[in-house]
Amino acid sequence: MDAILVINAGSSSLKFQVFGAADIGNPHHLIKGQVDGIGARPRLRTVDESNHQLIDKTFTADEIPDLPRATMAAGAWLRRVNTVNIIAAGHRVVHGGPDYDRPVMIDGEVLSRLERYAPLAPLHQPNNLAPIRALAQQRPEMPQIACFDTAFHRGHAPVADRYAIPERLYEEGVRRYGFHGLSYEYVATRLREVAPQIAAQRIIVAHLGSGASMCALLQGRSVESTMGFTALDGLPMGTRPGQIDPGVVLYLIAQKGMSAAAVQDFLYRECGLKGLSGISNDVRELMETDSVAATLALDHFVYRVGLHAGMLAAALGGLDAFVFTAGIGENSAVLRARIVEKLAWLGAALDAGANEAGSLLISSARSRVLIYVVPTDEELMIARHTFALLAGAAAPARRSAGR
């Protein structure tokens, strides 16, 4: 059976899925897997389409020290299973910069351009590109497609797209991109299926996980996002601060003597929930402790989600629905309830029982804002784009030449 491989690479994990190519309009997953603990305690786990375990194997750190070796290990296992013929690979790439506003077939020029954006997404871009290089060495004849987290937001109006800085910097690509676009695109598509009555209305989607952002949807399209030029902006995250006065960065450089590299590492790895709590970047761990600092970190997270919801509601001119997705949004009934309390001024009210059960619709009958929990599926979105591009259904990638 012909199939495609979808790869979603993180900082210390490699998620992958294999999708059958029998129906390009409706790809279905055959195998779902993950290599986590890369460089520390690597572990390869896979399940089939019926969620039956296929392998659960641990490795030494020397056997899988990095993402290329993780890609090779996953590929070697797939070849041994030998139940499918991988004809192409689709990849999540966080930053498409000003050049790419839709999925694109990867070649040497594309890869070179994407490498330029590594400083704008240092936790993600290098890791996204590592499996691409590994597969290019193993299977140079196999098509590879890049799907961008920034692409879904590229239709923003100029007033939302721009910073109040000189035009020459905008021409260079300094603008508000927005991220988690593959997740938002999937949720927008899914809403047309599960809640068609509101899918085209004024919606805020909250992608809440270790990386967190929110997006305002109108007519199923992104009109505003909490993230901007990089994935540092907006909501506080696991290890990233979210919105911060640029003067803080100047202070760290001028008064604390930190280099640009040190500031970058600090903002990406030492802030957010981890920095506030001094304990962990994991919400589950913070909720299990009675530490005052952990409580403050969670309070801050909820508070900032509420503030940014107000901003996005203003951009939409009102609010008809609010959607939770991603790890925290899908799994934490407690934080969902706390966030909905912050939306009471918009008319949001929770059905406590539905929320505890993790139902699709968790708003009460009296709520003026419908509240949903919609699990995201970035890998399925990548599969759809990959099949479409292979079939010629998608137009060639549009290069916007900095505009």
Q: What DSSP string describes 195-235?
A: -TTTTTS-EEEEEESSSEEEEEEETTEEEEES--SSTTSSS
H runs (alpha helix) in 260-362: 260-269, 272-277, 283-287, 292-316, 326-331, 333-342, 352-357
pLDDT for 182: 96
What would the two tokens of residue 281 be? Answer: 């970047």
pLDDT under 70 in the chain at which residues? 11-12, 22-25, 82, 393-403
pLDDT for 18: 92
pTM: 0.91
Which entry of 99, 101, 149, 233 is annotated as an active-site residue? 149
What would the two tokens of residue 81 be? Answer: 């299973």
What are the residues facing 89 on neighbouring strands? 5, 144
Q: Quick check: 313 and 322 in contact, CB under 8 A?
A: no
Alpha-carbon distance of 78 to 1, in angstroms, equals: 13
| CA–centroid distance for 201 within its chain | 23
pLDDT for 360: 97
pLDDT for 349: 97
Tell me, yes or no, if 282 is annotated catalytic.
no
Place of tokens 């804002």: 369
pLDDT for 397: 46
